[in-house]
């Protein structure tokens, strides 16, 4: 069985100064890089997702057009394919990333499972190909794409752990609700310094 890390949407537009800035986003980028540098053999595979939205349409109503964004289902333009805002944050060292997943591309997409890899495969196909059972989830934003991605992994039968010191949310209240929802769904709530010794499946069985 293989173990994977999901890095969710650590992009310029979701960090300080971006179109949809999340406070603490840059620190998450740096923290993920630090963890991977200090524990280079922790994960067999590292996946990193990015919003990758079309520039010439509203992406299925995801971008607000005539009305102001409600910041629930409609949003300001962000992470447009090929722009600086869609690039990974410079503090995120992507040298350990072996699979990139692009999501959006003309439609709303929150979960990493909504995207496709560079070779056109779905994430579920890649997980099966690599025999991945245990998944750790980090990134942005706790209350949206991290939540959707962790829940997606549970739905696909994986043993999932959220590393709470390596996520950042849009708002404290909705982030707390998201973490509670993940825990109720069976996601192990942990931190990066506790993740080196026990797998998610071991923790869920204990």
For the chain, the 3-state helix, strand and coil shares in percent, each to the nearest 5, are 35, 25, 40
CA gap 111, 114 in Å, rounded:
5
Half-sphere CA count of 140, side-chain side, radius 13 A: 29
- Which of 103, 134, 136, 143 is an active site residue? 103
Q: What span, in angstroms and rounded, lies between the C-alpha atoms of 164 and 139? A: 9
Strand segments, DSSP code E, in the chain are 2-8, 45-52, 99-104, 116-117, 132-140, 159-168, 188-190
Could you confirm whether 79 is annotated as catalytic?
Answer: no
Catalytic residue (choose from 9, 51, 114, 134): 9
CA gap 103, 192 in Å, rounded: 26
Backbone angles phi, psi at 42, to 5 degrees: -70, -35
- 165 catalytic per annotation: no
Residue from 51, 79, 126, 145 carrying the catalytic annotation: 145
CA-CA distances (angstroms) from residue 134 to 23, 49, 73, 131, 158? 29, 18, 30, 9, 6
The yes-or-no answer on residue 145 being catalytic is yes
Catalytic residue ranges? 9, 103, 145
């Amino acid at each position: 069985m293989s173990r994977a890390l999901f890095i969710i949407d650590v992009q310029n537009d979701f960090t300080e100064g971006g179109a949809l800035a999340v406070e603490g986003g840059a620190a998450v980028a740096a923290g993920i890089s630090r963890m991977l540098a200090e524990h280079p053999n922790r994960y067999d595979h590292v996946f990193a997702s990015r919003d990758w939205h079309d520039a010439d349409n509203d992406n299925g109503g995801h971008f607000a057009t005539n009305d102001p964004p409600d910041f629930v289902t409609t949003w300001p333009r962000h992470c447009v394919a090929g722009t600086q805002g869609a690039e990974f944050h410079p503090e995120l060292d992507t040298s350990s990333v072996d699979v990139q997943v692009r999501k959006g591309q003309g439609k709303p997409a929150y979960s990493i499972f909504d995207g496709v890899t560079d070779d056109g495969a779905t994430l579920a196909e890649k997980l099966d190909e690599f025999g991945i059972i245990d998944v750790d989830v980090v990134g942005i934003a706790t209350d949206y794409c991290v939540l959707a991605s962790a829940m997606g992994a549970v739905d696909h039968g994986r043993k999932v752990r959220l590393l709470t010191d390596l996520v950042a949310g849009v708002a404290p209240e909705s982030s707390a609700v998201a973490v509670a929802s993940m825990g109720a769904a069976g996601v192990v709530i942990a931190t990066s310094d506790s993740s080196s010794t026990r797998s998610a499946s071991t923790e869920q069985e204990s």
